[in-house]
């Protein structure tokens, strides 16, 4: 019997549509990692599926503002490593409020490894 708390899964996560205001969806699909980020003015939801064959470090998200490239890290609540074949959902909150329309680029990392940029999928929703 493990004393560790259960980790949330993608199925446990609330749908991003419960947030009010405009939101945007961004995706990343490379190297066995699928990540979907739903961003809204007050934070976001990051869904990650790991098919890399190894454990990924704790996820990190940095948003670069479109107007001047200023970086804004988003807090990943309860970040944990993601084992191979696992799908996990993480809630995010921004250090500083960045409206979805002002997002220039979103960078994804796991542990100390930068994985690259997420791309918009379909525009504002």
Sorted by where each starts, the structural domains of the chain and their CATH numbers stand as: 10-15+23-115 (2.60.40)
Span 31-63, pLDDT tens digits: 999 999 998 777 889 999 999 999 999 999 999
Complete DSSP assignment for 30-60: ETTEEEEEEEETTEEEEEEEE-SSS-B--EE
Split at pLDDT 50, 70, 90, the class of 116 is very high
Percent of the chain beyond pLDDT 90? 52
pLDDT value at residue 23:
58
pLDDT at 40: 79
């Amino acid at each position: 019997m493990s004393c560790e708390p259960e980790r949330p899964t993608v199925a446990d996560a609330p749908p991003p549509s419960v947030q009010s205001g405009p939101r945007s969806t961004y995706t990343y699909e490379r190297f066995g990692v699928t990540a979907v980020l739903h961003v809204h003015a007050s934070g976001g939801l990051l869904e990650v599926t790991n098919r890399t064959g190894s454990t990924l470090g704790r996820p990190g998200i940095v948003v670069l503002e479109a107007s001047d490239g200023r970086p804004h890290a988003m807090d990943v609540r309860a970040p944990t490593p993601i084992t191979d074949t696992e799908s996990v959902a993480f809630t995010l909150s921004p250090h500083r409020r960045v409206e979805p329309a002002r997002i220039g680029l979103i960078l994804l990392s796991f542990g100390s490894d930068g994985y690259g940029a997420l791309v918009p999928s379909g525009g504002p929703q």
